[in-house]
Amino acid sequence: MAGVVSVDGLRKRYRSRDPWAVDGVTFALEPGQAFGLLGPNGAGKSTVVKIIAGLLRPDEGKVELFGSDPGNPASRKDLGFAPEDPDFPKFLRAAEVLDYFASLLGLDEQERKRRIPETLEFAGLDKERRQVRQFSKGMKQRLGIAQAILGRPKLLILDEPTADLDPLGRRDVRALIDQLKDSGVAVLLNSHLLSEVELVCDTVAIMAKGRVLKEGTMAEVVPQGKNLEDVFVELVEANAPPRDQLPSFITEGNKS
């Protein structure tokens, strides 16, 4: 079976005078694989997933989504993407947002009637009648995940999916990822919650300053006796200037 995602020598910067946001990233994703993309803020993780989702154009390198250019709408048919800080047309209600996106996915009316109530129930939004503009961040995040799974994707990209969720919501997302993996869906997970990544991902890549510092299976990246957080902190600190000084007005407070 063909690969789901193939990223080769990817480079991207937002303006010509800016440093590379993504600099020579290469990895591949196979069906049923859960891949964790980790890194500190500004590492370039979201840029990578946005390029895979066809939202940004790469400057150099090659990206293939199901064997095609992600800019081609047909290649995104089997993609589910839950963006970081998701938002939606703000005067629509949750059910309308899902109906809108189901139409964009080409689902017929019968399928929409079947999937939308179940998806809303999964997201805990089945009783919600308010418009999106009145939603909390957590509710928007739930709706973001709901719209991402609506098309029964073969690749699910989750960009910080649990950042605004309560512990129950996080548990549901973990269960969702496990279930999808078992059914052959590839999952690309961007997250700062390393314990969560450790629980669900088979493979990880740790990024900083647009580059991949380390990549491999969880066993290859995390040696015996250590956890993912130790490895992450060591790698990132080795590639960043030290930040051990607290602001002077904090330390001064101890003297008085």
Partner 1 sequence: MNGALAIARYTLVELSRRRILLVFFVIGALGILGLGVGLKILYSVVSTSQGGFGPSNVDPAAFNHFIELAFVSYIFGALGIFGLLIAYGIGMTAIYHDLDSGAAVSIFSKPVSRVAFTSGKIAAALAALLVIMGVLAVEARLVMFLFGGGLENALTGAVLAVIGNTMVVMLLVLALSTWMNNIVAAIAAFIYYNVITGVISFVHNLTDSGVIGSGVVKTIFNILYWLVPHQLVSSATGDLVRAQVAIQGERGTTAIAGVPPASTTGDVVWWAFVVCVLCGLLYYSVRRREV
Site residues (CB under 8 A) for partner 1?
Answer: 50, 53-57, 73-77, 79, 81, 83, 85-92, 96, 100-101, 103-106, 131, 144, 147, 151
Measured from the CB atom, the residue of 75 and 239 that comes closer to partner 1 is: 75
How far apart CA 75 and CA 54 sit, in angstroms, is 9
Tokens 């895979």 locate to 52
The answer to whether the beta carbons of residues 12 and 20 sit under 8 Å apart is yes
Measured from the CB atom, the residue of 36 and 144 that comes closer to partner 1 is: 144
HSE-CB for 246 with a 13 A CA cutoff: 6
Tokens 């999952």 locate to 187
Q: How far is the CB of 194 from partner 1 (least distance, A)?
A: 25
Measured from the CB atom, the residue of 106 and 241 that comes closer to partner 1 is: 106
R_g of the chain, CA atoms, integer Å: 20
Q: Residue 238: count other Cβ atoms within 10 Å of its Cβ.
A: 9
β-bridge partners, 156: 80, 187
Q: How far is the CB of 113 from partner 1 (least distance, A)?
A: 16
How far apart CA 111 and CA 96 sit, in angstroms, is 15
Q: How far is the CB of 37 from partner 1 (least distance, A)?
A: 16
HSE-CB for 243 with a 13 A CA cutoff: 6
Q: How far is the CB of 93 from partner 1 (least distance, A)?
A: 10
Measured from the CB atom, the residue of 62 and 133 that comes closer to partner 1 is: 133
Q: How far is the CB of 58 from partner 1 (least distance, A)?
A: 11
Measured from the CB atom, the residue of 56 and 185 that comes closer to partner 1 is: 56
